[in-house]
Amino acid sequence: MAKTIVVKQVGSPIRRPAVQRQTLIGLGLNKMNRVRELEDTPSVRGMVNSIPHLVQIIEERG
């Protein structure tokens, strides 16, 4: 079984650069308090780390 992380959107993309908004969409998040379980890969970690003010890692499953 692959390792996964649970990510929650805690910030709004309003008045943020388009790159940050696209990163949220790439993670499958687009509305406040949405939660997604994503595979724990370097690319996903990089996306989460590029917008730490908009998302929060709730749980790491593995």
39 versus 2: which is more confidently predicted? Answer: 39
Q: Residue 54 is part of a domain; what is its CATH number?
A: 3.30.1390.20
CA distances (Å), 1 to each of 52, 55, 61, in order? 27, 25, 10
Mean pLDDT, residues 45-58 taken together? 98
pLDDT (0 to 100) of residue 62: 85
Number of domain units in the chain: 1
Boundaries of domain holding 41: 4-61
In the chain the first and final C-alpha atoms are separated, in Å, by: 8
Percentage with pLDDT > 70 across the chain: 98
User: Which spans in the chain are helix H?
Assistant: 18-26, 42-50
**Digit-coded pLDDT (tens) for 16-28:** 999 999 999 999 9
Q: pLDDT-derived band of residue 3, with 50, 70 and 90 as boundaries?
A: very high
pLDDT at 4 over 90: yes
